[in-house]
Amino acid sequence: MDLKQIQYFIALFEDGSVTRAAKRLNIVQPALSMQIAKLEEELHQQLFERGAHGMAPTAAGRLMYRLFLPIMRDLAHARQQLVQRDEIITGHVTIGLIASVTESVLADSLSRFHARYPHVEVTVADGYSATFIDWVAGGQLDAALINKPRARLSLDSQPLHDEEMVLATSAAHGPDLPHSIELAQLPELELVLPTKRHGLRGVLDTAAQHEDVLLAPRFEIDVLSTIVALVEKTRFATILPRIVVGRAVREGTLRAYPILAPRIVRHIVRVSHPRRPLSAAAEALIAIIADELRQVSTAADIGVPQASSEPAG
């Protein structure tokens, strides 16, 4: 088994077709097929099954991909750092971002990053914090930006951004509420919240449990933009980070209220593998995203609504 065979195997696994993989590798199809056959003979395992829709990996093939992908990524990163000259950063960054980050700052972050580092390719995965932890540990991601979990992590974790969470209601259809809301008043409202799989829900439930408050949302939705759209059109309320609702508040479709006694703060952290140092490209991308988060949070002048004498309800 050599590196070339592993590269051929990974290309065929990802492309699912000898034709596409050979084109990607810039080799002829028989050469690819021969190397895969040699690899299978050496391992005494069938790695692919040929079907009507292309080459499907076997269980052994899927295991090999999981085992060797992190190794090949490490080799690629090592090569990038050795060949970089004159501050020209190249390579490929694979990063996981929670939805509140992708929806609020990803587009601007990537625009800035590409303007400064045009020779770097970026792959962004969207998902849950728990999933990203597994993917970083397994080598599928270079790093991830997640909501800080309650459990202790085996990964390297660096604080990136702290942000207050606020109560948001429709400017047109929402209930009359006082200047600020206490956590104990939240069960009086009809709530739409992320599901318990979502990192933001973990932040909310931790705060609520600490104050002996039970949050029983009418709807649970993980797509944050859908939560915002639903709240804009109804009497439902939600609890989300400032950067998620800031634009709707500035446009006048939502009102936002600070939550007091206690405040609810989510902590975004960067996680990476302790034995896989981040490349210069990954460090640069994360720094730009962190800067965009700070700028958006500062710009999210939510504008507190006029105080009301009505109780929350």
Topology (CATH) of 163-266: D-Maltodextrin-Binding Protein; domain 2 (3.40.190)
pLDDT, mean of residues 150-156: 85
Tokens of 93: 């960054």
Q: Confidence class of residue 55 from pLDDT cuts 50, 70 and 90?
A: confident
The rounded distance, in Å, linking the Cα atoms of 94 and 116 is 18
The residues, any chain, with a CB within 8 Å of residue 187's CB and separated by 6 or more, are 213, 214, 215, 216
Whether 101 and 129 have beta carbons less than 8 Å apart is answered as no
For position 80, what pLDDT does the model report? 66
Rounded distance between C-alpha atoms, residue 15 and residue 286, angstroms:
29
pLDDT over 80 at 222, yes or no = yes
Q: How far apart are CA 196 and CA 242, in angstroms?
A: 20
Cα dihedral 181/184/190/193 (nearest 10): 90
**Does pLDDT of 290 surpass 90?**
yes
83-159+267-299 belongs to CATH 1.10.1040.50:
no
List the beta bridge partners of residue 255: 169
- pLDDT score of 277: 84
pLDDT surpasses 60 at 75: yes
Q: Which amino acid is at 206?
A: T
Is residue 122 left, alpha or beta, with left meaning phi > 0 and alpha meaning psi from -120 to 50?
beta
* pLDDT tens-digit map of 11-37: 888 888 888 888 888 899 899 899 899
pLDDT tens profile 76-91: 777 766 665 546 788 8
Q: What is the pLDDT of residue 118?
A: 93
3-80 matches 163-266 in fold: no
pLDDT exceeds 80 at position 301: no
| First CA to last CA distance, the chain | 68
Residue 139: the pLDDT is: 87
Report the CATH number of the 3-80 domain: 1.10.10.10
| d(C-alpha 81, C-alpha 98), whole Å | 28
CB-based contacts of 61, cutoff 8 Å, min separation 6: 9, 13, 45, 46, 47, 48
Phi, psi of 278 (to 5 degrees): -70, 145
Among the residue ranges 57-71, 99-113, 186-200, the one predicted with the least confidence is 57-71
- Give the lowest-confidence range in 165-174, 184-193, 225-234, 297-306: 297-306
Q: Which residue ranges make up each domain of the chain?
A: 3-80, 83-159+267-299, 163-266
